[in-house]
Amino acid sequence: MHAYDFWTTTGTVDSGTYPIASLTLQPSEKATANQMQMMFPSAMTVEERLAVADRVLAGVQQWRDGIAEAATRRRTVETELAEAHAKIARLEAEPGDGDGGES
């Protein structure tokens, strides 16, 4: 099964407690949004469930870290661009010899 949907700011993640220990992902509050609910077979031991949960957590952490790195790069570029614009404005405002070159 493949289900595709777009996360929105209203998306939710919900989890049930052991022994059910379900995990529900709903990317949007829209009525038409897909919802995914994951549960464990009743025969799976708690240790096996923990191992699965650890793998899911590691995958989600890697996903989150990639997004965080992109956000940091974007903020850095935006900051550097703003600083460059400010420097250009300062240089343009300085009285010079009129030829546009450096003194």
Domain boundaries, the chain: 1-39, 41-94
Residue 29: the pLDDT is: 92
Q: What mean pLDDT comes out for the span 78-89?
A: 94
Neighbouring C-beta atoms of residue 56, cutoff 10 Å: 12
How do residues 9-20 score in pLDDT, each as one tens digit? 999 999 999 999
Q: Are 30 and 36 in contact (CB under 8 A)?
A: no
Mean pLDDT, the chain, integer: 91
pTM reported for the whole predicted model: 0.70
